[in-house]
Structure 1
Amino acid sequence: MINPEQRQLVHKYLLIELAVKSLQIDYLKVEQFKMNKVFAPIMDSLLKDLRHEYFELKKQLGQQRIRLVGWKTIDEYFSDVQIATSGDDVVLRYANQALKTKVEQLIINHIDGKMKMKS
């Protein structure tokens, strides 16, 4: 069983994992842009920050003996995420569109934060 704080950590971990995966896929397309010298460094910096956060969250979850076991797509609308804890396994159901929206917002917030730091 996981408590609400652990569930929030798991949720953030999942969002960051999805953001990293999406950006890695998109990065291949950015390399083909005419202005890739502008966008590639932005993507590199964003990926570096998200990977750092990802590994920190993974470490925190590991210390609490919580790990992601796997994703299972239920249908086009929902996916289940299986989480292993020291007590037993937990299955969390997520709406795919909600995950996509949250990942987009996470990336936008990271970009906005970087822009504010530079100005």
Structure 2
Amino acid sequence: MIKPDERRNVHEYILLDMAVKSLQNDYDKLGNLKMSKVYIEIVDVLLKVIRPDYYNKKRMLAKQKIEVVKWIHIDQYFSDVVVKNPGEDVVLRYAKQALKTQVENLIFQYLKEISDSTNTI
């Protein structure tokens, strides 16, 4: 059984993981754009800000002996995430579109924080 606060931490970790992977994947494709230097700089800054939070969340879960083991593709709408925790494995079902929207909102939140911190200087 996974506790509600542990489940929330797992969910936050999943969002951070997806944000990092999406940004890294997009980073490789930015070189083909006319304004690639601008976009690459934005993604670089985002990754520098998001990665520490990602690694901290991963370390926190490891201390609680919780690990995201694998993703299982169900269909075009849903995926299951297998989470290993002390005692048993738990399967969490996620709607893909909802996750995508939450990751986008997370990235926008980081962009706003970056923008706010640079405007106060």
What TM-score does the superposition give when structure 1 sets the normalisation length? 0.96
- Aligned-pair CA distance for 1:39: 1.6
Pairs within 5 Å for 1:1-119: 1-119=1-119
- Aligned-pair CA distance for 1:28: 1.4
CA distance in structure 2 between the aligned counterparts of 1:56 and 1:74, rounded to whole angstroms: 29
CA distance in structure 2 between the aligned counterparts of 1:113 and 1:31, rounded to whole angstroms: 26
Unpaired segments ≥5 residues, structure 2: none
CA distance in structure 1 between the aligned counterparts of 2:48 and 2:92, rounded to whole angstroms: 28
Deviates more, 1:65-74 or 1:31-40: 31-40
CA distance in structure 2 between the aligned counterparts of 1:73 and 1:50, rounded to whole angstroms: 26
Q: Which amino acid aligns with 1:72?
A: I
Deviates more, 1:33-42 or 1:52-61: 33-42
CA distance in structure 1 between the aligned counterparts of 2:118 and 2:80, rounded to whole angstroms: 39
- Which stretches of structure 1, 4 residues or longer, exceed 6 Å deviation after superposition? none
Give the superposed CA RMSD: 0.8
Aligned-pair identity in percent equals 49
SS at match of 1:42: helix
- Aligned-pair CA distance for 1:74: 0.4
1:89-118 C-alpha deviation (Å, 9 max, x unpaired): 000000011001001100111001100111
User: How many residues are matched?
Assistant: 119
CA distance in structure 1 between the aligned counterparts of 2:103 and 2:9, rounded to whole angstroms: 15
SS at match of 2:117: helix
